[in-house]
């Protein structure tokens, strides 16, 4: 089977864990042990989140250092791709004696400059600022900042829909050749067409939505989104809460429209899954990393099928 | 022809230029314009330096920021690969309408833990420290620090010989498939074998030596090292100074042994070239970026041939 596996943050770092290189290596190494057989026995492309890593890079980047210009957000995302590539390959490599080789391709996610997200930036990133500094930054850099619950302000950036992973042909070629490609790290570096140039843009890309378009682009039959919960729930947070098992795409779309999954983490996972199935995919699974082995063929988690 | 082109720092940033993303984009865009036809008409792998970029990442990394651990040097190198990948692909892409696609592969350079460089760290990196702080850091992190000419101290790290670019098979596959791969950025992230693990190590890799082993590994006939001078010189710095044109590898080795090229920038370029020819390469060229078009087939610069 040709499968795209999207690794959630918990495959790289536990929520409150220290974020040293070695700590991240250990978490990734445990994740890779759980995935090892799946990686050997299928054609797998890996994608991954980058929240904590790009957050750290960004905080360092916002700290003034004499003579060193700050890099734009999209370039910080590119740096996080390099960092996480090393961690994942290091973590996988120590388990693999004669297994397939993992290869990371620097990846960009094409978005439309007309995407409505550019008119309503919503994703908070970077530091918390007092009001005066927030006003100054808004004026100086043209940033959008929003009041947070504790009276401080934070930069918000758009999260546009990825249309395509620009590197999909190369990823496909590597997959065809027996490698385990890593692509669309952190959703991919967001780029827009601007005349002849396809240039970075100040935005973040949801990694599950990016995974869905990549999975479609390279002809995967299965999209497997691994996270820290067992799947999606109906009536989440009420006493009628019930995990969804196998479900038709039309039914889950109906639940999505009713706002059943929220706009936080699960909403984009559901949207990524339904888009994948509507684009011709056979199986979309949202499952925990611990059950990865069963999840890849729909034996665990929330399993969305055509129909 | 199958060619490896190693881009020197001047293809990415001018020595004293500002280092914003856009400034680096512009320099890279000019470099890509000079290389465009060469890239379309040959099978080319690109490698590049990362000195100023990893220097900036490192300086930010050494600045204490609450709750954010510093990353090891090798991970800073990995981050620089992501950053420079974006810049080069952005710069090339704006020139290319229907040309080949440039694809960057995250790359590691395998070095031997027995390399004698580990006993005599020599490459200065990062900040300049006063003596007391240097002593503290040496104790805390086990760093080697050396007295610089102005009475401050600076961390020094080993520069071991790269034995192999771990990703050479994938790079070869992409080249065979008509892509322009970027690999061995900044010499590649240095790794050593440690039991089952192939792990990052605190070192820097000379990008020209890494280019030489990669060129050999993927079967290039030509190694082209582009820099800001027209080639290597005999009697450099004297009034007998004379640029070397076409020369046999045995002759240039003789000059190298006599210390004709110094240990700074030209020495490693010559060593990279002679190693490449001794390993079976047909042509190794050291030339300026401006003459790249002629240089690829030996029509410019210092041209080292078998014999």
Which residue among the candidates A8, A10, A186, A187 is catalytic per the annotation? A10
Nearest by CB to B79, which of A79, A97, A177? Answer: A79
pLDDT attached to residue B9:
78
Lowest mean pLDDT, pick from A150-154, A253-257, B71-75, B241-245: A150-154
Whether residue A279 lies in the annotated active site: no
For A96-227, where are the E strands, in sequence order? 102-104, 108-110, 123-129, 144-147, 153-157, 164-165, 180-182, 189-194, 197-200, 222-227
Tell me how far apart the alpha carbons of residues A55 and A53 are, in angstroms, rounded to a whole number: 5
User: Contacts for A275-280 with beta carbons within 8 Å, 24 or more apart?
Assistant: A275/A209, A275/A212, A275/A213, A275/A216, A276/A212, A276/A215, A276/A216, A276/A223, A277/A249, A277/A304, A277/A305, A277/A306, A278/A249, A279/A212, A279/A216, A280/A216
Contact A170 B179 (CB under 8 A): yes
User: Would you tell me the crossing angle of helices A168-176 and A207-217 to the nearest 10 degrees?
Assistant: 60
| Residue A245, in any domain of the structure | yes
Q: What is the DSSP letter of A4?
A: E
Residue whose entry in the numeric block shows the structure tokens 């809460």: A241
| Residue B284, in any domain of the structure | yes
Which residue among the candidates B126, B187, B207, B301 is catalytic per the annotation? B207
**Residue B14, pLDDT above cutoff 80:** no
| Residue A238, in any domain of the structure | yes
CA atoms within 13 A on the CB side of A263: 3
Contact B83 A75 (CB under 8 A): yes
Task: Tell me how close the Cα of A61 comes to any Cα of chain B, in angstroms.
Answer: 7
Q: Please tell me whether residue B43 adopts helix, strand or coil conformation.
A: strand
Contact A83 B82 (CB under 8 A): yes
End-to-end CA distance of chain B: 21
pLDDT attached to residue A58:
93
Task: Tell me how close the Cα of A81 comes to any Cα of chain B, in angstroms.
Answer: 6
* Ramachandran region, residue A300 (left: φ > 0; alpha: ψ -120 to 50; beta: rest): beta
- B18 to chain A: which residues are within 8 Å by CB? 69
**Residue A251, pLDDT above cutoff 80:** yes
Residues 6+ apart with CB under 8 A from B195: none
**Residue B60, pLDDT above cutoff 70:** yes
Which residue among the candidates A34, A123, A164, A294 is catalytic per the annotation? A123
- The pLDDT confidence band at residue A15, using thresholds 50, 70 and 90, is low
Nearest chain A residue to B92 by CA: give it: A197
Whether residue B116 lies in the annotated active site: no
Residues forming a β-bridge with B105: A105
CA-atom Rg of chain B in angstroms: 19
Judge whether B11 and B73 are in contact, CB under 8 Å.
no
Tell me how far the alpha carbon of residue A231 is from its chain's centroid: 17
Tell me how far apart the alpha carbons of residues B159 and A172 are, in angstroms, rounded to a whole number: 36
**Residue B238, pLDDT above cutoff 90:** no
**Residue B126, pLDDT above cutoff 90:** no
User: Which site among A74, A95, A106, A175 would you substitute to test the B interface, given the most B Cβ atoms closer than 10 Å to its Cβ?
Assistant: A106
Tell me how far apart the alpha carbons of residues A266 and A243 are, in angstroms, rounded to a whole number: 13
| Residue A189, in any domain of the structure | no
Of the segments A58-67, A234-243, A278-287, which one has the largest average pLDDT value? A278-287
Task: Tell me how close the Cα of A32 comes to any Cα of chain B, in angstroms.
Answer: 13
User: Which site among B83, B171, B196 would you substitute to test the A interface, given the most A Cβ atoms closer than 10 Å to its Cβ?
Assistant: B83
Lowest mean pLDDT, pick from A109-118, A277-286, B255-264: B255-264
Contact B108 A86 (CB under 8 A): yes
- The DSSP annotation for B147-194 comes to E-TTS-EEEEE--PPP-EETTHHHHHHHHHTT-EEE-SGGG-EEEEEE
- The pLDDT confidence band at residue B15, using thresholds 50, 70 and 90, is low
Q: Find the mean pLDDT for residues B43-49.
A: 97
Q: Find the mean pLDDT for residues B50-56.
A: 92
Task: Tell me how close the Cα of B55 comes to any Cα of chain A, in angstroms.
Answer: 10
**Residue B287, pLDDT above cutoff 90:** yes
pLDDT attached to residue B13:
83
The whole domain housing B225 covers: 221-307
**Residue B230, pLDDT above cutoff 70:** yes
Nearest chain A residue to B61 by CA: give it: A60
Bigger pLDDT: A17 vs A221: A221
Judge whether B90 and B25 are in contact, CB under 8 Å.
yes
| Residue B197, in any domain of the structure | no
**Residue A229, pLDDT above cutoff 80:** yes
Contact A106 B90 (CB under 8 A): no
Nearest by CB to B104, which of A106, A174, A177? Answer: A106
Contact B82 A86 (CB under 8 A): no
- A63 to chain B: which residues are within 8 Å by CB? 60, 63, 65
Structure token pair of residue A249: 């795409």
Whether residue A258 lies in the annotated active site: no
Average pLDDT over all residues of chain A: 94
| Residue A303, in any domain of the structure | yes
Lowest mean pLDDT, pick from A68-77, A132-141, B170-179, B293-302: A132-141
Contact B105 A104 (CB under 8 A): yes
Domain count along chain B? 1
Residues forming a β-bridge with A222: A3, A283
Could you give the C-alpha distances from A29 to A4, A23, A36, B164, in angstroms and in order? Answer: 19, 10, 10, 24
Task: Tell me how close the Cα of A122 comes to any Cα of chain B, in angstroms.
Answer: 24
pLDDT attached to residue A262:
80
Whether residue B10 lies in the annotated active site: yes
- A71 to chain B: which residues are within 8 Å by CB? 21, 83
Which residue among the candidates A9, A77, A185, A301 is catalytic per the annotation? A9
Q: Find the mean pLDDT for residues B209-213.
A: 98
Nearest chain B residue to A98 by CA: give it: B196
Nearest chain B residue to A73 by CA: give it: B21
Of the segments A120-134, B21-35, B233-247, which one has the largest average pLDDT value? B21-35
| Residue B226, in any domain of the structure | yes
CA nearest to A167, candidates B70, B48, B101? B101
**Residue A138, pLDDT above cutoff 80:** yes
Q: Find the mean pLDDT for residues A125-142.
A: 90
Of the segments A15-24, B104-113, B144-153, which one has the largest average pLDDT value? B104-113
Q: Find the mean pLDDT for residues A224-235.
A: 93
The answer to pTM > 0.95 is yes
Nearest by CB to A85, which of B106, B179, B199? Answer: B106
Q: What is the CATH number of the domain that holds A282?
A: 3.40.1160.10
Whether residue A50 lies in the annotated active site: no
Contacts A–B by Cβ distance under 8 A: 156
Tell me how far the alpha carbon of residue B261 is from its chain's centroid: 17
**Residue B274, pLDDT above cutoff 90:** yes
Nearest chain A residue to B91 by CA: give it: A197
| Residue A176, in any domain of the structure | no
**Residue B250, pLDDT above cutoff 90:** yes
Q: Find the mean pLDDT for residues A137-152.
A: 89
Judge whether A46 and A7 are in contact, CB under 8 Å.
yes
Task: Tell me how close the Cα of B205 comes to any Cα of chain A, in angstroms.
Answer: 16
Q: Find the mean pLDDT for residues B215-235.
A: 95
- B80 to chain A: which residues are within 8 Å by CB? 79, 82
By CB neighbour count within 10 A (0-12 exposed, 13-18 middle, 19+ buried), where does B116 fall? exposed
Tell me how far apart the alpha carbons of residues A207 and A205 are, in angstroms, rounded to a whole number: 6
Task: Tell me how close the Cα of A244 comes to any Cα of chain B, in angstroms.
Answer: 38
User: Which site among A23, A33, A86 would you substitute to test the B interface, given the most B Cβ atoms closer than 10 Å to its Cβ?
Assistant: A86
A43, containing H or E segment: strand A43-48
- A20 to chain B: which residues are within 8 Å by CB? 69
Residues 6+ apart with CB under 8 A from B143: B137, B155
By CB neighbour count within 10 A (0-12 exposed, 13-18 middle, 19+ buried), where does B237 fall? exposed
User: Which site among B18, B67, B78, B176 would you substitute to test the A interface, given the most A Cβ atoms closer than 10 Å to its Cβ?
Assistant: B78
What proportion of chain B, given as a percentage, has pLDDT over 90? 84
For A163-294, where are the E strands, in sequence order? 164-165, 180-182, 189-194, 197-200, 222-227, 233-234, 242-243, 246-248, 283-288
CA nearest to A21, candidates B124, B112, B190, B76? B76
- A169 to chain B: which residues are within 8 Å by CB? 101
Nearest by CB to B21, which of A75, A86, A97? Answer: A75
């Amino acid at each position: 089977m040709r499968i795209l596996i999207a690794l959630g943050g918990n495959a790289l770092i536990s929520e409150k864990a220290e974020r040293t290189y070695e700590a991240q290596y250990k978490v990734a190494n445990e994740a890779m042990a759980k995935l090892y057989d799946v990686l050997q026995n299928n054609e797998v492309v890996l994608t991954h989140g980058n929240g904590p890593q790009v957050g750290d890079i960004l905080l360092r980047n916002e700290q003034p250092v004499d003579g060193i210009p700050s890099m734009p957000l999209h370039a910080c995302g590119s740096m996080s791709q390099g960092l996480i590539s090393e961690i994942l390959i290091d973590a996988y490599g120590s388990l693999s004696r004669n297994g397939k080789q993992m290869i990371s391709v620097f990846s960009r996610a094409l978005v439309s400059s007309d995407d409505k997200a550019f008119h309503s930036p919503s994703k908070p990133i970077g530091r918390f600022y007092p009001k005066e500094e927030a006003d100054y930054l808004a004026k100086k850099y043209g940033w959008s900042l929003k009041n947070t619950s504790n009276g401080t302000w934070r930069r918000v950036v758009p999260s546009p829909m990825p249309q395509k992973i620009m590197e999909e042909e190369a990823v496909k070629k590597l997959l065809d050749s027996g490698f385990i490609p890593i692509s669309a790290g952190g959703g991919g570096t967001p780029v827009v067409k601007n005349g002849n140039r396809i240039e970075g843009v100040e935005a973040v890309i949801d990694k599950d939505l990016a995974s869905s378009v990549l999975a479609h682009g390279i002809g995967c039959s299965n999209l497997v989104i691994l996270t820290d919960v067992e799947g999606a729930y109906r009536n989440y947070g009420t006493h009628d809460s019930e995990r969804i098992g196998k479900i038709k795409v039309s039914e889950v779309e109906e639940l999505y429209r009713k706002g059943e999954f929220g706009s936080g983490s699960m909403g984009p996972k559901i949207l990524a899954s339904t888009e994948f199935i509507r684009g011709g995919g056979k199986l979309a699974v949202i499952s925990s990393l611990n059950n990865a082995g069963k999840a890849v063929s729909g034996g665990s988690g929330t399993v969305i099928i055509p129909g």
